[in-house]
């Protein structure tokens, strides 16, 4: 077990216990909230080796965050690509891309089946990914993608990247601060980092759900950021936050008018329970 006994954002040692919840394997996990900065995180989590049982193939076929039956289906691939495109527009990414040279390199950390790696390859990037799950890496490699299996923190690269992305990844990491620090070092000057994660704090639809919130999956999700704590994490490590958006309400039933209205409000007024953030490496 890894115990989180210090807040990763503000070093505070003072937390309150929010609640405990059972994992898919029947163990109880307790969610804490930092009294100083509001960061939420699990009190303790299985270590990197132990936690692998939660990431077996089953995770990608039955329990995906998107609520789809099969992570590897063409319909899901199309839907994921549609969402990437919207996210990149919202973050004004295409203007950043326009000003880069011909050789553009990107790395997707926690790339799963490699859909974003493929999306960027199709846009003419030298596109790579890294992923822990062997099933996902096999799938990506069979599709001709440059995806390696491994732990990002233990992997060296012989080149710098113009873009590093972490899509729905940072909430899973045991050491998010160290990963952001390494990403800073792996980026070229003026390189960009893009992240998406579930969002706590502020005016937020997740508050209607309490412990039933769709992203409180323990222990797969370890850290729960607000806009403020995610910005702080990035700024402490040399990034300057450029843009952010929130979206998603999970209000009512999928496909209903009330869901559509709630999703619209969530996006329009930054009340969503998911967020996307772009930040630039500031030269040291
Ligand atoms: Zn804190």
User: pLDDT, tens digit, for every residue of 68-101?
Assistant: 445 667 887 788 889 899 999 999 999 999 999 8
Tell me which residue of 173, 197, 109, 104 sits closest to 147, measured CA to CA. Answer: 109
pLDDT attached to residue 60: 55
* Banded model confidence at residue 134, pLDDT cuts 50, 70, 90: confident
> How far is the CA of 108 from the CAs of 115, 214, 264, 274, in angstroms?
10, 24, 29, 19
169, pLDDT greater than 50? yes
Give the model's pLDDT for residue 284: 62
- Distance in Å, CA 207 to ligand 1 centroid: 20
CATH number belonging to the domain at 65-281, selected among 3.60.10.10, 3.40.50.150, 3.20.20.70, 3.30.70.1060: 3.40.50.150
Q: Quick: pLDDT tens for 221-253.
A: 999 999 999 999 999 999 999 999 999 988 899
Residue 54: HSE in the Cβ half-sphere, 13 Å Cα cutoff: 20
Tokens of 199: 């969002």
Residue 218 pLDDT greater than 80, yes or no: yes
Ligand 1 centre to CA of 18 (Å) is 15
98 Cα–ligand 1 center, Å: 38
Q: What is the mean pLDDT of residues 143-156?
A: 95
Cα 239 to ligand 1 centroid, rounded to whole Å: 19
C-alpha dist (Å) from residue 83 to 66, 76, 113, 167, 269:
11, 11, 15, 11, 19
Query: How many whole angstroms from 216 Cα to the centroid of ligand 1?
Result: 19
- Cα-to-centroid distance, 112 and ligand 1 (Å): 30
Report pLDDT for 68.
40
Q: What is the DSSP letter of 46?
A: -
User: What is the distance in A from the centroid of ligand 1 to the CA of 257?
Assistant: 38
Residue 175, pLDDT score: 96
Which one is predicted more confidently, 250 or 187?
Answer: 187
CA of 36 from ligand 1 middle (Å) equals: 5
Closest CA to 19 of 5, 38, 40, 4: 40
Return the closest-CA partner of residue 54 out of 236, 187, 222, 213: 222
Q: Reduced to 3 DSSP states, what percent helix, strand and coil does the chain have, rounded to the nearest 5?
A: 35, 25, 40
């Amino acid at each position: 077990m890894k115990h989180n006994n210090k807040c990763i954002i503000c070093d505070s040692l003072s937390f309150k216990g929010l609640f405990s919840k059972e994992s898919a394997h029947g163990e109880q996990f307790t969610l804490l909230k930092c009294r100083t900065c509001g960061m939420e995180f699990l009190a303790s989590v299985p270590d990197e080796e132990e936690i692998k049982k939660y990431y077996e193939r089953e995770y990608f076929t039955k329990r995906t965050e998107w609520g789809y039956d099969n992570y590897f289906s063409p319909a899901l691939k199309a839907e994921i690509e549609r969402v990437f495109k919207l996210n990149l527009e919202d973050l004004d990414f295409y203007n950043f891309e326009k000003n880069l040279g011909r050789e553009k390199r990107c790395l997707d950390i926690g790339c799963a089946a490699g859909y974003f790696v493929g999306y960027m390859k199709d846009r003419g990037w030298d596109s790579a990914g890294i992923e822990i799950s062997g099933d996902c890496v096999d799938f990506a490699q069979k599709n001709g993608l440059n995806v390696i299996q491994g732990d990002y923190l233990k992997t060296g690269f012989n080149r710098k990247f113009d873009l590093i992305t972490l899509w729905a990844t940072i909430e899973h990491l045991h050491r998010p601060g160290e990963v952001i620090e390494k990403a800073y070092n792996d980026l070229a000057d003026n390189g960009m980092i893009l992240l998406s994660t579930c969002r706590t704090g502020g005016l937020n639809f997740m508050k209607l759900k309490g412990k039933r919130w769709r992203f409180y999956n323990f222990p797969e999700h370890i850290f729960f950021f607000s806009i403020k704590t995610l910005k702080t994490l990035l700024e402490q490590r040399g990034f300057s936050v450029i843009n952010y958006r929130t979206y998603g309400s999970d209000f009512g039933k999928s496909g209903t008018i009330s869901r559509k209205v709630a999703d619209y409000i969530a996006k329009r007024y930054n009340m969503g329970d998911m967020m996307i953030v772009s930040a630039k490496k500031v030269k040291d």
